């Protein structure tokens, strides 16, 4: 079954009682049992809910995985993965990590004795240099947020397997439409479903997908025990959003390329970060593991002046100044003061998140209007 068909049909069946083609919103906390332990597969909605169950099967299918679990946010999904570790375990991650991921690693889990290493993962030798017998998890973002760096998932998988570690990939930027980390050797895929999977800026949710039975048992145990599950209504909205994921991503990619190429021609712009450029350091890796280059772009202004960057993000009319990404509408943001403000300035700047860096989430509007909007803001 090809991607578009899976996006629309996987995990979803007409309601048996009414024939409704859309999965009902099972807005219930509990389920009546015929006798003690005799029920229809559902006991309590923290543990399992039919609407959420349909979504979890759908997301697993489009990621070519066997098991899916949905959470109240992307960070709740990350929280689940780190809770699979023990004090003394070590994690290797990228040095240009999303600010929220960095924050939960450093301010929540580090105090429980889990050790985190942040390295430039564009070169696998940097990862191999810090792998040791205590390495239990390699956490990858690709493309990274916001520097759009590309990490070779197959290379990271080989390192993880040699070390006996789990490889988890944050696939939020690429989505299953462009990239399937499980097929490339990853053990776990994470999504901030809030972004492209939901696609309409109306839901906060996270998800994990795996094909490993042992990891799945732990994933569901922690999901149920910690209780950070998503609600039935949100599950319904994301099921609806995923039905058009392939169509939306096609347009995001088309618009992203047009905007990226326009930005390279503007005299006030210094650097443009987008993995579709042949000049991108890991462009060949991106071509190998992705089916397109997406709608996320970052760029810096000449002079690296904070005030100039803040003025540009304030002046756009179609690009809305807001956090998040992946919705049908275009967004503009300033990572250093918004999404990555929780990362200390010196660490932030070492990875390229300088004061003039601006991040775009290119939506599905008409590309000509988006380019004109940026042109006026940069004038």
Which of 58, 53, 106, 50 has its CA nearest to residue 78?
A: 106
Q: Is 367 helix (H, G, I), strand (E, B) or coil?
A: helix
348 annotated active-site: no
**H/E run at residue 163:** helix 153-163
Which of the residues 170, 234, 355, 373 is marked catalytic?
170
- Distance between CA atoms of residues 281 and 165, nearest Å: 27
Name the token pair of 147: 């520097």
195 annotated active-site: yes
DSSP-H helix ranges across 207-244: 213-226, 232-242
Contact 249, 178 (CB under 8 A): yes
- Distance between CA atoms of residues 98 and 105, nearest Å: 11
Interior angle at CA 167, CA 80 and CA 248, nearest 5: 80
Length, in residues, of the chain: 379
Which of the residues 31, 46, 106, 240 is marked catalytic?
46
Q: What's the gap between Cα 164 and its chain centre?
A: 25
112 annotated active-site: no
- Distance between CA atoms of residues 108 and 347, nearest Å: 18
Which of the residues 98, 102, 262, 273 is marked catalytic?
98
373 annotated active-site: no
DSSP-H helix ranges across 201-301: 213-226, 232-242, 245-263, 283-289
Q: Which residues are known to be catalytic?
A: 46, 98, 170, 195
């Amino acid at each position: 079954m090809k991607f578009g068909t899976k996006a629309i049909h996987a995990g979803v069946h007409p309601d048996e009682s009414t024939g409704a083609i859309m999965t009902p919103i099972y807005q219930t906390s509990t389920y009546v049992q015929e006798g003690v332990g005799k029920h229809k597969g559902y006991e309590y909605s923290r543990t399992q809910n039919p609407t959420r169950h349909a979504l979890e099967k759908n997301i697993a299918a489009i990621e070519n995985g066997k098991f899916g679990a949905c959470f109240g946010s992307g960070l709740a999904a990350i929280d689940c993965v780190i809770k699979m570790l023990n004090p003394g375990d070590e994690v290797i991650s990228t040095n240009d990590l999303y600010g929220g991921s960095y924050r939960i690693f450093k301010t929540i889990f580090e105090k429980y004795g889990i050790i985190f290493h942040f390295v430039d993962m564009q070169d696998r030798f940097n990862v191999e240099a810090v792998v040791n017998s205590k390495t239990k998890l390699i956490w990858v973002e690709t493309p990274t947020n916001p520097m759009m760096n590309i990490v070779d998932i197959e290379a990271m998988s080989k390192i993880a397997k040699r070390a006996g570690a789990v490889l988890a990939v944050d696939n939020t930027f690429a989505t299953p439409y462009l990239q399937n980390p499980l097929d490339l050797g990853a053990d776990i895929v994470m999504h901030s479903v809030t972004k492209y999977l939901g696609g309409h800026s109306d839901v906060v949710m996270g998800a994990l997908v795996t094909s490993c039975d042992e990891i799945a048992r732990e994933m569901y145990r922690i999901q149920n025990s910690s209780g950070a599950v998503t609600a039935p209504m949100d599950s319904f909205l994301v099921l609806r959003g995923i039905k058009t994921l392939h169509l939306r991503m096609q347009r995001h990619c088309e618009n992203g390329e047009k905007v990226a190429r326009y930005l390279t021609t503007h005299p006030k712009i210094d650097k443009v970060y987008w993995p579709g450029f042949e000049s991108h350091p890991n462009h060949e890796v991106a071509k190998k593991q992705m089916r397109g280059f997406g709608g996320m772009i970052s760029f810096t202004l000449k002079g690296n002046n904070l005030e100039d960057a803040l003025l540009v993000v304030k002046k756009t009319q179609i690009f809305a100044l807001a956090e998040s990404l992946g919705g049908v509408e275009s967004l503009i943001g300033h990572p250093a003061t918004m999404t990555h403000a929780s990362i200390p300035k010196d660490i932030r700047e070492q990875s390229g998140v300088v004061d003039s860096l601006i991040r775009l989430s290119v939506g599905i509007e008409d590309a000509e209007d988006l380019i004109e909007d940026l042109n006026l803001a940069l004038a």
